[in-house]
A and B are shown apart, each in its own frame.
Chain A
Amino acid sequence: MLILVVDDSRVMRQIVIRTLRQSGHGGHDIVEAENGREALELCTTRSVDLVLSDWNMPEMSGIDLLESLRERGSTVTFGFVTSEGSDLMRSRAQAAGAQFLIAKPFTPEAFDAALNAAKVG
Chain B
Amino acid sequence: MIAIDEPTISDVHAVVEEVWTSFLGSDEPIQIGASTETTSLVDRLMLDDDTWTAAITVTGAWEAMILISVPVPAAGLITVGMLGLDPAEAETCGLEDLTDALGELVNIVGGGVKSLMPGPSALSLPLVAQGAITSTSNLEEVCAVDLTWHGHPIRVSIDVPRTTHGIGG
On whether the beta carbons of B108 and A83 are closer than 8 Å, the reply is yes
**Residues 107 to 141 of chain B near chain A (Cβ within 8 Å):** 107-108, 110-112, 114-115, 119-120, 122-123, 125
Min C-beta distance of A82 to chain B, whole Å: 8
Per-residue B-contact encoding for A1-41, CB less than 8 Å = 1, 0 else: 00000001111101100100000000000000000000000
B101 within 8 A of A: yes
CB neighbours (8 Å) of A83 from chain B are 107-108, 110-112, 123
Whether B112 lies near A11 (C-beta < 8 A) is no
Q: Does A18 contact B84, Cβ atoms closer than 8 Å?
A: yes
Q: Which of B19, B110, B111 gathers most chain A CB within 10 Å?
A: B111
A48 to B: closest C-beta gap in Å: 23
A105 to chain B minimum Cβ distance, whole angstroms, is 3
Shortest CB distance B118–A (Å):
11
Q: What 1/0 mask marks residues of chain A from 62 to 92 whose CB sits below 8 Å from any chain B CB?
A: 0000000000000000000011111010000
The answer to whether A103 and B111 have CB atoms under 8 Å apart is yes
| A105-B97 Cα distance, complex, nearest whole Å | 19
Main secondary structure of the interface of B (DSSP, over half): helix
Query: A87 — nearest CB in chain B belongs to which residue?
Result: B119
- Bound complex: CA of A103 vs CA of B115, how far in Å? 11
Tier of interface size on chain A: 20 to 34
Q: Are A10 and B100 within 8 A (Cβ)?
A: yes
Give the shortest distance, in Å, between A52 (CB) and chain B (any CB): 15
B100, A105: Cβ atoms under 8 Å? no
Contact present for A88 and B119 (CB under 8 Å): yes
Given contacts A85-B111, A88-B120, A104-B22, 16 further A-B contacts (CB under 8 A): A11-B100, A11-B101, A15-B84, A56-B123, A82-B111, A83-B110, A84-B111, A86-B114, A86-B120, A104-B107, A105-B19, A105-B21, A105-B22, A105-B23, A105-B108, A106-B22
Q: List the interface of chain B (C-beta within 8 A of A).
A: 18-19, 21-23, 79, 82-84, 96-97, 100-101, 103-104, 107-108, 110-112, 114-115, 119-120, 122-123, 125
